[in-house]
Amino acid sequence: MPALKVSNLGKRYQVFGSPRARLRALLTGRQAANNHWALSEVSFELGKGQCLGVIGSNGAGKSTLLKLITGTVRPTTGSVARQGRLSAILELGAGFHPQFSGRDNLYFGGALIGIEREQMSRLVPSILDFAELGEAIDRPVKTYSSGMTVRLAFSLVTAVEPELLIIDEALAVGDQRFQKKCTDRIEAFRKAGCTILFCSHSQYHIRRLCDVALWLDHGRVRAFGGTEHVLSAYETHVRLLEAEAQGPPDAGGPVARPAAAGGRKAAIRALAIADLGDGDPPQLASKDLAVTVRAHVRGGERPNFAVMLEQARGVGITSVTTHYDGAEPRLVGDELWEATVTFHDLPVHSGDYVVSAYLFDSEGIVVYDEWYQHTVFRWVYPARSAGLVSLPHRWS
Amino acid sequence: MTLVLAEELAAAFRSRRLLRVMVGRELAARNAGAVFGRAWVYGQPLLMLAAYFLLFDVILGARLGDVAPRRGMGVFLIAGMLPWMAFTDAISRAMTSLVDAGSLLQKNPLPPVLFPMRSVLASLTTYGPLMLLLWLAYTPYHRFAWPALALPLLVLVQFALIFVLGYLLAVMVAAMRDVQQFVGFLLAAGLFLTPILFSFEMFPESFRWILWLNPMTPIVLGFQALLLHGMWPVPAAFLALVAWFGMLGLMLAVAVERSHDQLVDWL
* CB within 8 Å of A214: residues ≥ 6 apart: A44, A52, A53, A54, A55, A221, A223, A224, A230
The pLDDT value recorded for residue A248 is: 43
Domains in chain A (CATH in brackets) are 4-240 (3.40.50.300), 266-379 (2.70.50.60)
- In sign, the C-alpha dihedral spanning A56, A57, A61, A67 is positive
pLDDT of residue A251: 38
The torsion of the CA quartet A160, A165, A167, A172, rounded to 10 degrees, works out to: 40
Q: Are A265 and A298 in contact (CB under 8 A)?
A: yes
Contact A113 B258 (CB under 8 A): no
Inter-chain touch B109–A90, beta carbons under 8 Å: no
pLDDT > 90 fraction of chain B, expressed in percent and rounded: 51
Compute the half-sphere exposure of residue A340: CA atoms within 13 Å on the CB side of its CA. 10
pLDDT of residue A93: 66
Report how many domains make up chain B: 1
In angstroms, the separation between the Cα of residue A117 and the nearest Cα of chain B is 9
Nearest CA in chain A to B110: A72
Mutation test of the interface with chain B: which of A24, A107, A112, A120, choosing the one with the most B Cβ atoms within 10 A? Answer: A112
A113 in contact with B, Cβ within 8 Å: yes
CA–CA–CA angle A92, A93, A96 (5° rounding): 160
Subunit contact B103:A26, Cβ cutoff 8 A: no
Structural domain of B150 = 2-266
List the single residue in B with minimal CA-CA distance to A11.
B261
Beta pairing, strands A86-89 & A164-168: parallel
What pLDDT is stored for residue A261 in this prediction? 44
B255, closest residue in chain A (CA to CA):
A26
Torsion of CA B191, B193, B197, B201, to 10 degrees: -160
Q: B1 falls in which pLDDT band (50, 70, 90)?
A: low
| Amino acid type, A94 | A
Arithmetic mean of pLDDT over chain B: 88
Q: Which of A11, A114, A109 lies closest to A69, judged by CA? A: A11
- Taking the Cβ of residue B247 and every Cβ of chain A, the question of whether any pair is shorter than 8 Å is answered with no
Mean pLDDT, chain A, whole residue set? 83
Give residue A24's pLDDT. Answer: 82
Q: How does pLDDT run across B76-126, given as a tens digit for each residue?
A: 889 999 999 999 999 999 999 999 988 888 888 889 999 999 999 999 999
Nearest residue of A to residue B179, measured between CA atoms = A23
For B242, list phi and psi in degrees, rounded to 5: -60, -40
Which of A13, A26, A117 lies nearest to residue B265, judging by beta carbons? Answer: A13
- What is the distance between the terminal CA atoms of chain A, rounded to a whole angstrom? 54
What is the mean pLDDT of each successive set of 10 residues along chain A, which is 396 residues long? 88 82 80 81 89 87 88 88 84 77 88 87 90 88 86 87 81 70 85 87 80 90 88 82 59 41 74 86 87 88 89 81 89 89 87 89 83 86 77 85
Query: Mean of the pLDDT values across residues B34-40?
Result: 75
Instruction: Kindly report, residue by residue over A274-326, the tens digit of the pLDDT.
Output: 888 888 888 888 888 999 999 988 888 889 999 998 887 767 888 899 988 88
Q: Would the CB atoms of A72 and B260 count as touching at under 8 Å?
A: no
φ, ψ at A160 (rounded to 5°): -110, 130
- Per-residue pLDDT tens digits for B125-168: 999 999 999 999 988 888 888 888 999 999 999 999 999 999 99
B143 and chain A in contact, CB less than 8 A: no
Q: Does ipTM exceed 0.85?
A: no
pLDDT for res A260: 43
A chain contacts of residue B18, beta-carbon cutoff 8 Å: 111-112
Q: Say whether B107 and A100 touch across the interface (CB within 8 A).
A: no
Q: Which of A23, A112, A117 sits opposite B110 (nearest CB)?
A: A112
The region that residue A58 occupies, defined by phi over 0 for left and psi between -120 and 50 for alpha, beta otherwise, is beta
Query: Which among A358, A302, A369, A298 has a CA at the least distance from the CA of A331?
Result: A302
Q: How far is B37 from chain A (nearest CA, A)?
A: 13
Asked if A74 has any chain B CB less than 8 Å from its own CB, the reply is yes
